[in-house]
Structures are given as C-alpha cells and as structure tokens.
Amino acid sequence: MVPGKGLVKKDEMKKDDEEDALPYYEVFGSQRSVVREWMAAMGSPVIRLKGREADDIIYQLTSADEGQHLCVIMSDDKDFLQLLSPSVHVYRAIAEEYYDPEKFKKTWKFPSKKYLIYKALTGDTSDLVPGIPGIGPVAALEIVNAVSSAKEVRSYCKSHKYKKFKEAATDESMEVFQRNLKLFDMRKEEFENAELRKIRKALTRDPPKIDWGTLKRIASELEFNSLASNVNQWMRSFK
C-alpha cells in the first residue's frame, strides 16, 4: 500500500523514466510501516519472527494453544483447511465460507485430514504448482477416499484398472506428488524454543483497544474511500 495509490502491484512499479523507478522490494518495504500501524489500530497483537512466513506462525499458534480455545483462522488461503480440527476452524471472509471438520466433509466429500493428499494430487494453479498429470478433482476425490494415508496412493493407483491412474503411479508422477506434499504441508517447519516461547506469550497477552480514528485516517490516506466510510462494518469479521 502506498499513500495515494492503494495496493501497488509488481508490474505497476514503473515510472515514465525507468532510471527513477524504485526496485519492487523497496516499494514493498515502504508498505510495512503502514501495515504495522493498521494492525495496531485494529487492536490486533502482532508476532514477527525473522525469516518465518505468516502461515507457519499461524500453524504454530494453533498448535501452541493445544485445543484450549476455539481458534478461527481468517483467511481465504485454502491451505489452512489442512489445519481443521474440533478446535481449529477456518473463516474465508471473501468467499463468506466458515469451515469446521463437519462442514468440510460435507462440502468436499472427504475428511479434512486428507486435504493435503488431495492438494498434492491436484496442485495449485493460483501458485503455478502443477499436480499429477491426468489427475483432476474427480480422480483425486476417488483416491483420497480410497486411501488412509499418502503412503497408500502409489499402490492404489498402480493396481487401478484405468490407464490414467496407472500412469499416476510412475516414478515421475510420484516425484511430483512427494514434492507437493512437502511444499503444501504447513506442519513441516521446525521452530526454535525461543520462537515458540514468543508465540505462546502472544496467546496470553491482552489485545490493545481498537483505534477507530487511526483506521479511518489510514484508509482515507490510501484513498480506500469505501473502507474509510465503512470501517465498523469491515471490522465485524474480526469480532
């Protein structure tokens, strides 16, 4: 976000004079202070760990809570669906979808604990990550409902009567599958004890109060006029 420009995309980081253009990372860096001020005004505690991605920290937060509270992850990133449990739910605000394990199974037609297998089979077009050739959503649904773990995928495909399933059992296809399992698995990152202590501390910290004036000011400065006039309504999702 840049004042007067709102969200700035990478391909828009050019000026008429190329020599005056700022590198993309510098423009992105200038947005961080705005994001931090916005989060503080929301009354939201912020956890920052050097070299760690937000999704990995979110997983560690849900894990550190150990099911003591209901954790609701607010994100439209479907990767978070792999974390669903009785104490971890996902709210996709843009899609207006609220998932718990029961809702997931009703919608996707398989248990949420198998979501990682499903995604490793199908890939993710939005992130340009290909799945196994020939295995689309219908075939993937059949596989995840037939196996109990990722280790059984190859043997199931190998013994299948249809050619596309047999081809999914080749070494090349299984390399894609194993790569995707590691790529999409949010539980794979190991955290240092000092990092885990910082995360656990955030769970017991009292959140600051909402600063409505600052939220409206930032939205106005960024020319997010609709947001500036409807901040109260926008904040409902976080309550």
Tell me the pLDDT tens digit for each residue of 34-84: 888 998 899 887 888 988 988 999 999 898 888 888 999 999 999 999 999
Cα end-to-end distance, the chain, whole Å: 24
Domains of the chain: 1-44+208-233 (no CATH), 108-184 (1.10.150.20)
Better pLDDT: 88 or 201: 88
In the block, residue with structure tokens 């080749």: 170
CA 11 to chain centre: 23
Distance CA 210, CA 50 (A): 26
pLDDT tens per residue, range 104-113: 999 999 999 9
Q: How many Cα atoms within 13 Å fall on the side-chain side of residue 221?
A: 13
Q: Which two tokens stand for residue 9?
A: 């995309």
Q: What is the mean pLDDT of the chain?
A: 87
Residue 26: band (very low, low, confident or very high) from pLDDT cuts 50, 70, 90: low
Residue 237: band (very low, low, confident or very high) from pLDDT cuts 50, 70, 90: confident
pLDDT of residue 150: 97
pLDDT at 2 over 50: no
pLDDT of residue 6: 47
Tell me the CA distances in angstroms from 153 to 6, 36, 114, 150, 183, one per residue in order: 46, 44, 12, 5, 17
Residue 126: band (very low, low, confident or very high) from pLDDT cuts 50, 70, 90: confident
Across 19-23, 93-97, 147-151, least confident range: 19-23
Distance CA 99, CA 106 (A): 10
In the block, residue with structure tokens 């990152």: 189
Cβ neighbours of 236 (radius 10 Å): 9
φ, ψ dihedrals at 17, nearest 5°: -95, 105
Across 44-58, 88-102, 126-140, least confident range: 44-58
